[in-house]
Amino acid sequence: MESILLLEDGKVFTGECFGASGTTTIGEVVFNTSMTGYQEILTDPSYKGQMVTMTYPHIGNYGINTEDVESVKPRVEAFIVRELCEVPSNFRSSESLDAYLKRHGIQGIQQIDTRELTRHIREKGSLPGILSSEGLSIPEMNERLKQHPHLEGRDMVQYVTTDKIKTWKPEVPKRWYYDKIVPLTDRILHVVAFDYGIKHNILRLLRSFGFKVTVVPASFTAEQVRKLNPDGLFLSNGPGDPAGVHYAINTVKALVGETPMFGICLGHQILCLALGGETYKLKFGHHGSNHPVKDLKTEVIEITAQNHNFAVDPESIRNKGMRMTHLNLNDQTVEGMEHEDLPLYSVQYHPEASPGPHDSLYLFHRFSELMMNAS
């Protein structure tokens, strides 16, 4: 079945539909440079509102398994690939990528030139697009696209956050880096994790340090948090523009200085805004598992996984008690910050993803130390 992708600037790509068919999807089109990990990308809640293009040409080789998901279902609006592997080969696979997307109602398109699409996005920036396999004309698609709001200023967190308080209890997988972790204290430290679109591996890592982890909705108030009496607060990753999540910013602002805080990705940006800083939209964002980040304290270069379209303005935090701790070597953007006096720190990249030789678990270790020192 034919599928058509139309970008906001009029660029058209025609390919073959896979996954859900006979439907129309709208979202911001971005590209991801990872060569593996498509299952984690599909289920990352930070991709809500976006259609993801994979730059690696052959996708679906190892199918889908039940262990490597980052949330309970795919979160992307649509999936764009050069060539779909229809017969996966892996002993862990339980179904094909095509069947998985079809089961969850997610549309895909293949047999398009993803190199051309990626170069177009790099030149023009991330663009809203509409993907249709239901036979709409270009004028009809263009009219629907015009009526769809952009991501800037929108609250996308509301679509991916939990609707109730819950304790994270799944068993921690037996992997080499978990075996090396030893809790720093016999006392169980209680972490309240704000779910702005939290990834499962973040929760696994928090549990692996021996923490009791209570996951709360993004709309949880400061007073509700205080009643839980946590040792520390974790601010999670999530989708969209941080400036659109006013309630989360206000809650974090009210809790600053009361308990240690650690933020990742959107949580990093929300912490910045809560302290009076500013964020801005990147031209085409950072999406991939090969971004070099320099730790300004140790001068170690980490190869990191990233997924975000917004960044912290470094000038806006200089007089807010924050200092930059990590720097993106590709474009010199802020990748980490910490408070000069308070136990607050955050990173823009995903330290739990471990794409390179340095897996950044020291950031979780530091969270333990801050909570112990504050108690």
pLDDT digits (tens, 9 = 90+) for 203-239: 988 988 889 999 999 999 999 999 999 999 999 999 9
Q: What would the mean pLDDT of 297-311 be, rounded to a whole number?
A: 94
> Judging by beta carbons within 10 Å of its beta carbon (0-12, 13-18, 19+), is residue 319 exposed, middle or buried?
exposed
pTM above 0.85, yes or no: yes
Are 251 and 220 in contact by the 8 Å Cβ rule? The answer is yes
Confidence label for 88 from pLDDT (cuts 50, 70 and 90) = very high
State the catalytic residues.
265, 350, 352
What residue type is 222 in one-letter code? Answer: A
Are 108 and 101 in contact by the 8 Å Cβ rule? The answer is yes
Domain end point (choices 116, 147, 178) = 147
Together in a domain, 100 and 215: no
Q: Is the dihedral of CA 109, 110, 111, 113 positive or negative?
A: positive
Q: How far is CA 64 from CA 97, 110, 288, in A?
A: 6, 18, 19
- pLDDT attached to residue 365: 85
Residue 2 above 80 pLDDT? yes
Residue 287 above 80 pLDDT? yes
Domain of residue 140 covers 2-147
Together in a domain, 120 and 20: yes
CA atoms of 166 and 43, how far apart (whole Å): 20
Pick the more confident residue, 160 or 372: 160
- pLDDT attached to residue 359: 58
What residues have CB less than 8 Å from 180, skipping those under 6 apart?
none
- pLDDT attached to residue 176: 42
Does 138 map to a domain?
Answer: yes
Mean pLDDT over the full length of the chain? 93
What residues have CB less than 8 Å from 203, skipping those under 6 apart?
168, 170, 193, 213, 215
- Copy the structure tokens of residue 339: 């408070």
- pLDDT attached to residue 46: 97
pLDDT digits (tens, 9 = 90+) for 171-183: 545 454 455 555 6
CA atoms of 319 and 277, how far apart (whole Å): 9
Together in a domain, 299 and 195: yes
Does 165 map to a domain?
Answer: yes
Does 78 map to a domain?
Answer: yes
pLDDT digits (tens, 9 = 90+) for 306-345: 999 999 999 999 889 999 999 999 999 999 999 999 999 9
